Structure 1
């Protein structure tokens, strides 16, 4: 039996159909419009009679008529929509044209894992290694606090904010207090809040080229006019940013200086200082997306721009998605206290808050050092996978691709022999069960680029080796 009450609007009086026919007509209509589908169970006659306030015989009469017409079938203990009826066409229930608004939506730009096979989508952690049991136990403990099940602080659960502030201080060298930090729905949710708070329609915002298309879509949705700035082996070219400034003011610049997306290069110290000076003198908000800070394998740690920002122009965006899982939607933003308060006020007008129970659970893992321990384990795992992928590429594709081994990150950026049709190669690889991401996907003007971005974090050593073998066969 269906667990719901199946309401039907009935009309009384002699001018209308008999009640049993009204019931039968309502069921027919619901089958035609897709509310009821072939094989769906209908309420029992006693249940439906009680719901509608009619005699059971009235419902039985309606069911007999529907069964005689072939709309439903009666079984020993249930009544169901006849299984042989055709499914209604998609959208048939809504025949109107809508309110007449321009409902065009941004083209999805986030890298999605492929359907099966071996996918090289970069920046995705290995979900098989998520510490699910640790998180589940902490979540169950958090559920024991009823106050977390009500409305909470739009800035985030206080204990998580405090734990993140300590983490940023101890591991990233930032002088951040809890009142200058806000928890958001992933780094993309944090960027969306910042963009809708700082940017007005028509504001010019600089972005890296090649860069991160999902961030471009978010900034455009806030009304920004995007200004592409080229990237070289040392990151965003600051002199090109200055040239863009000469053509008009810039409200903000979105950049990934730690491991540039997608090239993985790290911005050098001299260029960082020049960038900070330029931003301070022109009051440009630097939106620093430090999306994979934990995964730096070689050399000295590289501190965020936000740690060298006396003028207060850097808005720092981060995420726990790369340590845990993107589906948890745990990101954060740090900046001047007035900005954080404005972001929280804006969030209060939309979804109001995140998930306080989940945030408390993650705060407990941070306080106990368990999440930091997991991050160290993942760093060792991903570094080993980087080496396996690099060696497989040298062995099977040494004459076709070249790359510099990045000091950190979760992917490799390959230069491909210009004689190779890279898009055709990617198509053949997909047919062989390997998802490749060509440089064109990250180009601001959708121009072909002789590059591949291969993420190594989501595939284990055996899968990486097999994926490269298939790439070589496809080529």
Structure 2
């Protein structure tokens, strides 16, 4: 049995005042540890010799304490081992007498306006289900061999294991600046790029820097609940703006401005989350002009830029931003894996420097070695090659899902084939109870997201969001077949 440390201060000396016998102090300490859950039923206690040596007392003192606890029913001895009893004596713990449990804290209000645990839980599914997911990459296709080789090389540089620049690893910032310039039309240099812990980390850092409690921030409706939680945590008062087939309705945003100033607008114009629609050119220009007039910060989340299948990719808003109002958020997680947590921010240099200073005060930096890995993959073109491979794979899966839906759910669900992205947004016959359908689907081993999950006011919507990137063609066919069988009668 591993050594067991007994964290209790035994009273001794005249300065400690009246005190119980030492064996009773030991028994009281163990009894208290059992009551508050530090010691659990079945946990072994140290041998009497070992505990006596630890506490600097005679072994008979420990034996006396154990005998008292055993007589009271707190512990029992078997085969030369003393354990906490499985059936403990009745009696309220000190914490319960005060009306709270130790693991709950002293009555903190954890369900305030800035928390949304139900929204976070809504985006989680048990691992055993065939999950249409939230448009996540297929982790089975991650090039782990390339990552492992590049990581080994990175670890050969001891400096990468020390403190680094809060802006991020310089080589990765340079490589990303080149990528953004060549592939996405952004006129940026390395000093205007900041590396973050994923796109969510990017939004959190921007929100905590830019937003003050009570600031009004516009968001898309339907939209991305996790982003809403992040913005609320920074103190934002969220203003929902409706989305249609051409993206965020800018005229509705103008109307919201008439009710008071807005600090920022958060949106996903390339492949709107969750509907996948692309914001039209006319609206983009109108939005940029509106933001310049009102000094409204545009938080552009371009989370899956690489996966555009049909026609020319639409360039980001940040690519045509002479007013400097766009803060561009991106990630490498959709290309590689979300667990790697590599995101980035591009914006005016003063903003980037301010964000870096705030980050330095919080966590200092990210993972320089992992960032060097990403830099090497970008510099050698390996990440770009993997992205092209994934684009072909996901295009094939989009086709497979669309075909399966046409075969098994024609007349029940319709959709517009999106030009890009990693999911389909289904319009369901209003006669179908979508929430009930989703529950039945889960019982059949299929996890789906209903439109209600993305509605700002938690209203039922006749929609399903089906991600196709994390399931192969055979799995997609089976998932749709089960989904059809789960239709409520």
**Length-normalised TM-score, structure 2:** 0.89
Q: Separation in 1 of the partners of 2:341 and 2:181?
A: 22
Worse-superposed segment, 450-459 or 165-174:
165-174
Report how far residue 306 of structure 1 moved. 0.8
2:195 counterpart SS class: strand
Are 1:41 and 2:44 an aligned pair?
A: yes
Q: Separation in 2 of the partners of 1:312 and 1:411?
A: 31
Q: Separation in 2 of the partners of 1:132 and 1:75?
A: 50
Report how far residue 123 of structure 1 moved. 2.2
1:94 to 97, 102, 105: 102
2:393 to 369, 381, 387: 381
Structure 1 residue aligned with 2:330: 318
Q: Separation in 2 of the partners of 1:348 and 1:18?
A: 53
Worse-superposed segment, 16-25 or 301-310:
16-25
Worse-superposed segment, 170-179 or 70-79:
70-79
Report how far residue 270 of structure 1 moved. 2.7
Report how far residue 34 of structure 1 moved. 0.6
1:23 to 5, 26, 42: 26
Alpha-carbon distance change, 189 to 89 in structure 1, aligned in 2, over 3 angstroms:
farther
Give me the CA root mean square deviation: 2.7
Are 1:212 and 2:221 an aligned pair?
A: no
Are 1:10 and 2:15 an aligned pair?
A: no
Q: Separation in 1 of the partners of 2:479 and 2:415?
A: 17
Say if 1:125 and 1:323, in contact at 8 Å, map to a contact too. yes
Report how far residue 208 of structure 1 moved. 1.3
Q: Separation in 2 of the partners of 1:462 and 1:88?
A: 57
Report how far residue 5 of structure 1 moved. 2.5
Tell me the matched-pair count.
475
Alpha-carbon distance change, 2 to 249 in structure 1, aligned in 2, over 3 angstroms:
same
Worse-superposed segment, 384-393 or 457-466:
457-466
Alpha-carbon distance change, 32 to 102 in structure 1, aligned in 2, over 3 angstroms:
closer
Structure 2 residue aligned with 1:286: 298
2:234 to 218, 222, 232: 222
Structure 2 residue aligned with 1:106: 115
Report how far residue 263 of structure 1 moved. 0.9
What residue ranges of structure 2 are gaps of 5+ in the alignment?
A: none
Structure 2 residue aligned with 1:147: 159
Q: Separation in 1 of the partners of 2:365 and 2:239?
A: 32
Q: Separation in 1 of the partners of 2:159 and 2:50?
A: 38
Say if 2:74 and 2:89, in contact at 8 Å, map to a contact too. no
Structure 2 residue aligned with 1:170: 182
Report how far residue 473 of structure 1 moved. 1.0
Say if 2:174 and 2:190, in contact at 8 Å, map to a contact too. yes
Worse-superposed segment, 133-142 or 418-427:
133-142
Alpha-carbon distance change, 455 to 32 in structure 1, aligned in 2, over 3 angstroms:
same
Cα deviation, 1:284-326, whole Å, max 9, x if unaligned, reads 1110000111111121122111111111111000112212222
Say if 1:388 and 1:461, in contact at 8 Å, map to a contact too. yes
Alpha-carbon distance change, 421 to 43 in structure 1, aligned in 2, over 3 angstroms:
same
Say if 1:5 and 1:47, in contact at 8 Å, map to a contact too. no
Say if 2:397 and 2:469, in contact at 8 Å, map to a contact too. yes
Alpha-carbon distance change, 154 to 13 in structure 1, aligned in 2, over 3 angstroms:
same
Cα deviation, 1:406-454, whole Å, max 9, x if unaligned, reads 1110100111122222222222222222222222222222222222111
Say if 1:403 and 1:415, in contact at 8 Å, map to a contact too. yes
Are 1:198 and 2:202 an aligned pair?
A: no
Report how far residue 65 of structure 1 moved. 4.4
What residue ranges of structure 1 are gaps of 5+ in the alignment?
A: none
Q: Separation in 2 of the partners of 1:473 and 1:315?
A: 45
Q: Separation in 1 of the partners of 2:359 and 2:485?
A: 50
